[in-house]
Structure 1
């Protein structure tokens, strides 16, 4: 479903990615781990079309994202890729329900259609009772669940998460990790997650280890990491 081939990325003379190849299947949970500076977040941003590679190609559902115009890429990103970050980035002046609806509005869905989908997601995530609360009235775990609902509102092909539980306490982090597995099991949702959290990394179907801009190892989490 997703393929990244020969991904290189440099900023000036600093080479961040040195030729990364990665394939992810539909319904797979893949975690990317490694020391700070290994290139994990840069790779995630390139896969998510937030940045372009210096060379190489990213294909999602058979579409080469590098061949899309800026306008086409923006629409593709909105409709097919969901994002969850360490900080929820909810808009403080809007309610939980309104925050979840925003990507659907950008995709030109009607207010009614967006609200129905957002309400369904909030109910599924156990947050429907908080639909009309603003972010400041929610706990950290609740805020991040709203961010998950927002990422899912347009039924994306893939959800990309960058340290999604990095700002949560251990109980809320574990709850969020279990939620990712539940969403995959119920909806065959695909996740690619950058994390330093070993518990989350070990819940994945596959764990990718990055070092110095390259994939240094990968394997199923039940069998341990195998050297590439």
Structure 2
């Protein structure tokens, strides 16, 4: 599913990743943990093709993404990868339904089909009655579930989550963590989650520890 070979990354004189080799299998829920500054988010961004490594090879769902041109890479990212961030990053002027539709519209799906798919996804996540609400009218937990729906709208092969429960209270955190495993079981997605949450890490199929830019 995901294969990283010899991934390095520096910012100026600071080497953040020092030769990462990692394989993540289809359908796994994997957590990446480590101290602040260890390189977790940088690794996730490279895995998600949002950033490029200085050296190394990335194969995602059979495609060597290093070889893709920028336009091809954008299309690949939109189709194959879903993202969930700590602060949902919903667009405030759009409703929950409209926010979820955006990746489908970018992919070129018709507005009517995108709306239908977005409604189904919100319904699946228990948010059907909140579809017409804007982010300011939603609770923290609801916003993050809308963000998950947006990440799933194009049925990506992998969902990458960066501290997804970091801004949630205890109950919403528990519900979001349960949701990831339910989605894996029902939809077959692979999840890679950067987290400081020890309880979430303990629940995942495998925990990757990064210290000083290396897997320990």
TM bracket (short chain) = over 0.9
Q: How does 1:204-219 map to 2 (within 5 A)?
A: 204-216=204-216
Q: Deviations over 1:128-152 (max 9, x none)?
A: 1100000000000000000000000
Divergent runs of 4+, >2 A: none
In structure 2, the residue matched to 1:24 is 24
Query: Normalised by the size of structure 1, how large is the TM-score?
Result: 0.94
In structure 2, the residue matched to 1:202 is 202
Stretches of structure 2 that go unaligned for 5 or more consecutive residues are: none
Aligned: 1:123 with 2:123: yes
| 1-structure distance, mates of 2:93, 2:39 | 34
Aligned: 1:150 with 2:146: no
In structure 1, the residue matched to 2:88 is 88
Stretches of structure 1 that go unaligned for 5 or more consecutive residues are: 217-228
| 2-structure distance, mates of 1:95, 1:62 | 35
| 1-structure distance, mates of 2:78, 2:115 | 17
Aligned: 1:55 with 2:55: yes
State the structure with bigger RCO (CA 8 A, min sep 6), 1 or 2.
2
In structure 1, the residue matched to 2:169 is 169
Q: CA deviation at 1:199?
A: 1.1
| 2-structure distance, mates of 1:11, 1:110 | 41
Q: How does 1:97-136 map to 2 (within 5 A)?
A: 97-136=97-136
Q: What secondary structure sits across from 1:159 in the alignment?
A: strand
Q: CA deviation at 1:202?
A: 1.1
Q: CA deviation at 1:181?
A: 0.4
Over the residues paired in the alignment, what is the CA RMSD in angstroms? 0.5
Q: CA deviation at 1:61?
A: 1.1
| 2-structure distance, mates of 1:177, 1:189 | 14
Q: Deviations over 1:42-82 (max 9, x none)?
A: 00000000000000011011111000011111111111100
Q: What secondary structure sits across from 2:83 in the alignment?
A: strand
| 1-structure distance, mates of 2:5, 2:70 | 21
In structure 2, the residue matched to 1:221 is none
